[in-house]
A = this chain, B = another copy of it.
Amino acid sequence: MNPIPLLHGALAPVVTPFTADLRPDAGRLARHCRWLVAQETGLAVFGTNSEGNSLSVPEKIALLDALVDAGIPAHRMMPGTGCCALPDTVELTRHAMRHGCSGVLMLPPFYYKGVSDDGLFASYSEVIERVGDARLRIYLYHIPQVSQVPIGLALIERLLARYPGTIAGVKDSSGDFGNTSAMLERFQPRGFDVFSGSESFLLETLRAGGAGCISAIANVNPGPIARLVREWKAPDAEAQQAALDRVRALYQSFPMLPALKATVAQFSGDDAWTTLRPPLVALEAAERAELRDGLRALGFAMPGLIEIDRATAGA
């Protein structure tokens, strides 16, 4: 038996704050993580929406250490550890296991395109053998529109047959629920946890036996997402899903990552949150205003954020 608890339900690819000179800001990150945990939301730090691939390996190691030091529970974390270079993926994955993270969300190596399933199998296999930790849970990260390296069903089948338990699940960010459905039917019954990459498929995923969602929007709207995870059998589940969809629809008019940071800045009253690392850029003032108006029209709030920020700003 794996002594580390499984992560299910809602997870956020936690946005990473930067200082004015573009260094990662561990204090602000810990505060945002603390708020998300209080909202029953797991922490997929160093994901796509965390600017995870804009961080160096030493920066990610230092941030993970800082979060654990700040009391953020490692078993609520699923850090992104998949890099282009095998030694980087191994080092980050080992470090996550040293802290007892619940799992890791692992991109395939994403520089070379059109690579074979043999090559991708060898990549995951080398990482697993080198990390050599029976507690390791790898969640495969399928996000073809960004990585341009898809993780197909045949590859999952091979990996799952060779490394059952270690190949623990997938985040399907393809946006194609047909693909998620195929994964749910074929792999979820074998204990392979399927997470939707968007809360817009949350209810469908849970009804089909899936594990939950790992969604950008969970950075700003974690409470209602976590509530649907708890209440997906409730009579108003469809209405809850529709409310989540309305929030998502608003964000889809903006570049997602800067829009999330603008919202955290707005509700924490802390403008430092608007900084992004190149090549990503912050929203223009007019876009921020438009987003703010849209959120107001929806009656949107981030309850408790400002309290967490004030209570722990000095910590």
Give A residues with C-beta under 8 Å from B: 22, 48, 53-59, 84-88, 91, 108-113, 115-116, 118-120, 122-123, 125-126, 145-149, 277-281
B residues within 8 A CB of A126? 22, 278
B residues within 8 A CB of A280? 112, 115, 119
* Whole-angstrom distance between the Cβ of A264 and the nearest chain B Cβ: 19
Are A84 and B84 CB-contacts (below 8 A) given A115-B279, A122-B278, A278-B126?
yes
Q: List 6 A-B contacts (CB under 8 A).
A: A56-B85, A86-B278, A112-B280, A113-B148, A119-B279, A122-B278
* Whole-angstrom distance between the Cβ of A194 and the nearest chain B Cβ: 23
Q: Are A113 and B146 in contact, CB atoms less than 8 angstroms apart?
A: yes
B residues within 8 A CB of A281? 116, 118-119, 122
B residues within 8 A CB of A48? 111
Q: Are B59 and A85 in contact, CB atoms less than 8 angstroms apart?
A: yes
Cα A125 to Cα B122 with chains together (Å): 37
Q: Are B87 and A56 in contact, CB atoms less than 8 angstroms apart?
A: yes
Cα A112 to Cα B257 with chains together (Å): 11
**Which among B111, B145, B149 is the interface contact of A110 at CB below 8 angstroms?**
B111
**Which among B86, B145, B279 is the interface contact of A108 at CB below 8 angstroms?**
B279
* Whole-angstrom distance between the Cβ of A47 and the nearest chain B Cβ: 11
Cα A112 to Cα B145 with chains together (Å): 10
Are A113 and B54 CB-contacts (below 8 A) given A119-B279, A280-B119?
no
B residues within 8 A CB of A125? 278
**Which among B56, B84, B91, B108 is the interface contact of A53 at CB below 8 angstroms?**
B84
Nearest to A111 among chain B residues (CB) is: B53
* Whole-angstrom distance between the Cβ of A153 and the nearest chain B Cβ: 18
Cα A191 to Cα B277 with chains together (Å): 31
